[in-house]
Amino acid sequence: MMSYLILFGASFLAATVLPFYSEVFLYALLREGGDPIVLVVVATLGNTLGAVVNWFLGLYLLKFQDRRWFYFSRKQIETAQAWYQRFGFWSLLLAWMPIGGDALTLIAGVMKVRLWLFILLVGFGKALRYVSVVYLTDWAHS
Protein backbone atom coordinates (compact mmCIF):
# COMPACT_ATOMS: atom_id res chain seq x y z
CA MET A 1 0.00 0.00 0.00
CA MET A 2 2.83 2.39 0.86
CA SER A 3 4.41 1.86 -2.55
CA TYR A 4 1.17 2.99 -4.23
CA LEU A 5 1.11 6.14 -2.11
CA ILE A 6 4.72 6.85 -3.04
CA LEU A 7 3.91 6.35 -6.72
CA PHE A 8 0.88 8.63 -6.41
CA GLY A 9 3.00 11.30 -4.70
CA ALA A 10 5.82 11.00 -7.23
CA SER A 11 3.34 11.21 -10.11
CA PHE A 12 1.63 14.23 -8.56
CA LEU A 13 4.93 16.04 -8.03
CA ALA A 14 6.11 15.19 -11.54
CA ALA A 15 3.15 17.11 -13.00
CA THR A 16 3.59 20.22 -10.88
CA VAL A 17 6.28 22.84 -11.07
CA LEU A 18 8.70 20.60 -9.18
CA PRO A 19 11.17 18.60 -11.29
CA PHE A 20 10.40 14.95 -10.61
CA TYR A 21 10.29 11.70 -12.62
CA SER A 22 7.51 9.30 -11.72
CA GLU A 23 8.40 6.79 -14.45
CA VAL A 24 11.37 5.66 -12.35
CA PHE A 25 9.05 4.68 -9.50
CA LEU A 26 6.60 3.02 -11.86
CA TYR A 27 9.42 1.02 -13.44
CA ALA A 28 10.71 -0.09 -10.02
CA LEU A 29 7.26 -1.18 -8.86
CA LEU A 30 6.68 -3.08 -12.10
CA ARG A 31 9.98 -4.89 -11.64
CA GLU A 32 8.89 -5.83 -8.10
CA GLY A 33 5.81 -7.52 -9.55
CA GLY A 34 3.23 -4.79 -8.97
CA ASP A 35 -0.10 -5.04 -10.78
CA PRO A 36 0.38 -3.01 -13.99
CA ILE A 37 -3.26 -1.92 -14.20
CA VAL A 38 -3.38 -0.63 -10.64
CA LEU A 39 0.00 1.07 -11.05
CA VAL A 40 -1.07 2.82 -14.25
CA VAL A 41 -4.31 4.00 -12.61
CA VAL A 42 -2.50 5.31 -9.52
CA ALA A 43 0.20 7.06 -11.55
CA THR A 44 -2.33 8.56 -13.96
CA LEU A 45 -4.51 9.87 -11.14
CA GLY A 46 -1.56 11.43 -9.35
CA ASN A 47 -0.10 12.97 -12.49
CA THR A 48 -3.45 14.30 -13.68
CA LEU A 49 -4.21 15.87 -10.29
CA GLY A 50 -0.78 17.48 -10.34
CA ALA A 51 -1.63 18.94 -13.75
CA VAL A 52 -4.87 20.31 -12.29
CA VAL A 53 -2.69 22.30 -9.87
CA ASN A 54 -0.98 23.88 -12.88
CA TRP A 55 -4.38 24.62 -14.41
CA PHE A 56 -5.41 26.50 -11.26
CA LEU A 57 -2.08 28.31 -11.26
CA GLY A 58 -2.77 29.41 -14.82
CA LEU A 59 -6.16 30.75 -13.79
CA TYR A 60 -4.81 32.91 -10.99
CA LEU A 61 -1.05 33.28 -10.98
CA LEU A 62 0.05 34.27 -14.48
CA LYS A 63 -0.06 37.89 -13.34
CA PHE A 64 3.04 37.02 -11.27
CA GLN A 65 5.06 35.72 -14.25
CA ASP A 66 7.60 38.55 -13.98
CA ARG A 67 8.52 37.57 -10.44
CA ARG A 68 11.83 35.84 -9.89
CA TRP A 69 10.20 32.88 -8.10
CA PHE A 70 7.80 32.13 -10.97
CA TYR A 71 8.66 28.67 -12.33
CA PHE A 72 7.96 29.02 -16.05
CA SER A 73 10.07 31.28 -18.24
CA ARG A 74 8.41 33.78 -20.55
CA LYS A 75 9.75 31.70 -23.48
CA GLN A 76 8.09 28.51 -22.18
CA ILE A 77 4.79 30.33 -21.77
CA GLU A 78 5.01 31.84 -25.26
CA THR A 79 5.82 28.45 -26.79
CA ALA A 80 2.93 26.77 -24.98
CA GLN A 81 0.55 29.58 -26.00
CA ALA A 82 1.66 29.18 -29.62
CA TRP A 83 0.94 25.43 -29.46
CA TYR A 84 -2.40 26.14 -27.89
CA GLN A 85 -3.25 28.81 -30.46
CA ARG A 86 -2.33 26.46 -33.29
CA PHE A 87 -3.89 23.21 -32.05
CA GLY A 88 -6.46 24.36 -29.48
CA PHE A 89 -7.50 22.14 -26.64
CA TRP A 90 -6.24 19.05 -28.53
CA SER A 91 -2.72 20.18 -27.63
CA LEU A 92 -3.51 19.03 -24.09
CA LEU A 93 -3.02 15.46 -25.30
CA LEU A 94 0.69 16.39 -25.30
CA ALA A 95 0.72 17.45 -21.64
CA TRP A 96 2.68 14.28 -20.84
CA MET A 97 5.76 15.58 -22.67
CA PRO A 98 8.77 16.24 -20.43
CA ILE A 99 9.51 19.56 -22.11
CA GLY A 100 6.60 21.95 -22.47
CA GLY A 101 3.91 19.65 -21.11
CA ASP A 102 3.66 21.38 -17.75
CA ALA A 103 3.56 24.77 -19.44
CA LEU A 104 0.67 23.56 -21.60
CA THR A 105 -1.33 22.71 -18.49
CA LEU A 106 -0.63 26.17 -17.09
CA ILE A 107 -1.69 27.79 -20.38
CA ALA A 108 -4.90 25.75 -20.30
CA GLY A 109 -5.75 27.55 -17.08
CA VAL A 110 -4.84 30.92 -18.59
CA MET A 111 -7.08 30.13 -21.57
CA LYS A 112 -9.84 29.00 -19.20
CA VAL A 113 -10.27 25.56 -20.72
CA ARG A 114 -13.19 23.79 -19.08
CA LEU A 115 -11.89 21.68 -16.23
CA TRP A 116 -13.78 18.52 -17.28
CA LEU A 117 -12.30 18.72 -20.80
CA PHE A 118 -8.85 19.44 -19.37
CA ILE A 119 -9.00 16.39 -17.08
CA LEU A 120 -10.28 14.16 -19.88
CA LEU A 121 -7.56 15.09 -22.41
CA VAL A 122 -4.65 15.42 -19.99
CA GLY A 123 -5.61 12.22 -18.17
CA PHE A 124 -5.85 10.30 -21.44
CA GLY A 125 -2.43 11.47 -22.61
CA LYS A 126 -0.79 10.76 -19.27
CA ALA A 127 -2.40 7.31 -19.08
CA LEU A 128 -0.97 6.45 -22.50
CA ARG A 129 2.48 7.50 -21.30
CA TYR A 130 2.28 5.20 -18.28
CA VAL A 131 0.88 2.34 -20.36
CA SER A 132 3.86 2.74 -22.68
CA VAL A 133 6.19 2.47 -19.67
CA VAL A 134 4.47 -0.81 -18.74
CA TYR A 135 4.89 -2.21 -22.26
CA LEU A 136 8.48 -1.02 -22.57
CA THR A 137 9.32 -2.58 -19.21
CA ASP A 138 7.74 -5.85 -20.26
CA TRP A 139 9.45 -5.77 -23.64
CA ALA A 140 12.88 -4.98 -22.13
CA HIS A 141 12.66 -7.84 -19.63
CA SER A 142 11.13 -10.61 -21.69
pLDDT computed for residue 62 by the predictor: 73
The predicted structure's pLDDT at residue 16: 82
Please tell me what DSSP assigns to residue 70. Answer: -
Which of these, 15, 18, 37, 36, lies nearest to 27 by C-alpha position? Answer: 36
Predicted pLDDT of residue 46: 97
Contacts of 96 (CB under 8 A, 6+ apart): 47, 125, 126, 128, 129
pTM over 0.95: no
pLDDT tens, position by position, 26-81: 999 999 999 999 999 999 999 999 999 999 988 887 778 788 877 778 888 788 77
Q: What pLDDT is stored for residue 98 in this prediction?
A: 77
For every residue of 11-68, which 3-state class applies, written as one string? HHHHHCCCCCCHHHHHHHHHHCCCCHHHHHHHHHHHHHHHHHHHHHHHHHCHHHCCCC
Domain that holds residue 59: 2-140
Please give the average per-residue pLDDT across 98-111, as a whole number: 85
Count of structural domains within the chain: 1
Average pLDDT (79-102) is: 84
Region 113-125 average pLDDT: 96
Question: Cα–Cα distances in Å, from 50 out to 21, 55, 66, 138?
Answer: 13, 9, 23, 27
Average pLDDT, the chain: 88
pLDDT at 59: 87
